[in-house]
Chains A and B, each alone.
Chain A
């Protein structure tokens, strides 16, 4: 199994540009979420989904959109990139019925720089 696959691994954007960070998992996990990691601040939840067609906001949702049309995919859209969105982005997924005790499976991250 590939686990959680994030693309691209690196991206440089100009202020005002839009883009989509891709996330796909092949483990049939119901729960998927996006986090951003900034120095000294740990990871913060942007958006999450408990299943196909269901999404909700996390701690820092402004400037980002998500959709969950399939169980496998959970793309994150930056609507109009700003330098404050320079960060490392992680997608993570988890199986509902296995419970919390197995934790999340994280993707390898996308390092985004907005200039």
Chain B
């Protein structure tokens, strides 16, 4: 069975600094996708970044990058130059074998300090 683990319930980071949010996963599938979503206090779910299991390079989207270490089964999200608006809950998720069925982690609440 697939599983996503986010071990950091909450984190603080100083504005303008970089922060890494941890995500490890477990799957026996060879083909899978890894995702990060942001959920601000307003409640909506915002797609941030995607990494395919066969992608050789780490995904990047603006200030977001995904540190993909396949052998360690980790897919950490790196946010560079943190902004106050980055304060939110962040969810790691995965899909398997080309399906669109997500398995979510329990989330990490990030607080950016001025």
Which residues of A are interface residues toward B (Cβ below 8 A)? 31, 33, 35, 40-45, 48, 50, 58, 88, 90, 92, 94, 100-106, 108-109
Contact = CB atoms under 8 A, between A and B. Distances in A.
A106 B50 contact: no
Interface of B: 4, 33, 35, 37, 43-47, 50, 52, 91, 93, 95, 98, 100-107
A103 B98 CA distance: 12
Contact of B91 (A42, A58, A102, A105): A42
B114 to A, nearest CB: 27
B43 A100 contact: no
Interface majority SS (helix, strand, loop, mixed), chain A: strand
Contact of B47 (A40, A44, A88, A103): A103
Contacts of B102: 33, 35, 43, 45, 104
Contacts of B52: 100-101
Contacts of B95: 100
Given A33-B101, A42-B105, A100-B50, 9 more contacts: A33-B102, A42-B91, A45-B101, A50-B100, A104-B45, A106-B44, A106-B46, A109-B43, A109-B44
Contact of A102 (B44, B47, B106): B47
B104 A33 contact: no
B106 A48 contact: no
Contact of A108 (B35, B43, B50, B100): B43
